[in-house]
Structure 1
């Protein structure tokens, strides 16, 4: 997706209602992807869930950034003062993935923060059925939590841009 020329672009949401609607759509997307992650985690093949999570998470972050109009390409289309504001707002809310191109290294950094997930999920693989279910549950909760945090960070950045009047002078 990031290697293709970005021909579809979404503007930063133009109102608080738009931000709320995009936030809810993205939270639904997070829940769907977390369920996919949990489904893969339930398969008793050590390592499969980690590889799957890397791909699912990278796609999720890209999709959320795109929905909020905060992908790297979309931010680069903003006027310089709003571009700076977008990145400053992302830093202030802890949204280190807002406006970033998702690479395997970036995803690995984020998933390392939830290192308990990988250890618990892998340990669970060796306990029949109950371990697989626990692994899936841990995977779902961790994936959802990280996804929700990113959605909230993007919503805060979009709110900052709205307050600054990004749509009034566009």
Structure 2
């Protein structure tokens, strides 16, 4: 479990670096004019990095399952509040393809532009890099918000039942 804000910030920075490297690989694949190669590559890359990001932030399904009930409930609520579709989930090809389809215009444009000599490949690579970076960095931001909420929740003092106030002139008050 993440113990400090500094540790959380270091994880965020490390994940950004991982996403940038993966986006570069995606861009490199996108310039190769073979139909479907880039989409297959993007799915494979995302299926590899999303679980890694989840694990770095302590948000893999296994990590969440190992928490006590109260903490698990808080984590699931935090995930729900961010609207994350990937944190705390088993990442499947179907989930990744659904997310890529939501970015459909960019993905379709990437597929078509690579067949335009020279410039098309560069455009396809740029679109691929940008789309991969956007998806990865958005997921990092979601995970960071969730992990920060968990960290802040751990640092709060436990909630106790409020003391019952009994006025001095009440017969139930033994003074």
By the TM > 0.5 criterion, same fold?
yes
Q: Partner residue of 1:158? A: 147
What is the aligned length?
158
CA distance 1:19–1:51, change in 2 (3 Å) = same
2:41 and 2:113 mapped to 1: Cα distance? 17
Aligned with 1:58 (options 47, 50, 69): 47
Q: Partner residue of 1:25? A: 14
Determine whether 1:14 maps to 2:19.
Answer: no
Helix, strand or coil at the partner of 1:147: helix
1:167 and 1:65 mapped to 2: Cα distance? 24
TM-score by length of 2: 0.86
Query: What are the ranges of 5 or more consecutive residues in structure 2 without an aligned counterpart?
Result: 159-175
Q: Partner residue of 1:4? A: none
Q: Partner residue of 1:100? A: 89
- 1:34-67 deviation line (CA, Å, top 9, x unaligned): 0000000011111100000001011110110011
Structure 1 residue ranges (4+ consecutive) displaced by more than 4 angstroms after TM superposition: 166-169
Question: Aligned-pair RMSD on alpha carbons?
Answer: 1.6
Aligned with 1:78 (options 54, 62, 67): 67
Aligned with 2:105 (options 112, 116, 131): 116
Q: Partner residue of 1:43? A: 32
Query: What are the ranges of 5 or more consecutive residues in structure 1 without an aligned counterpart?
Result: 1-10
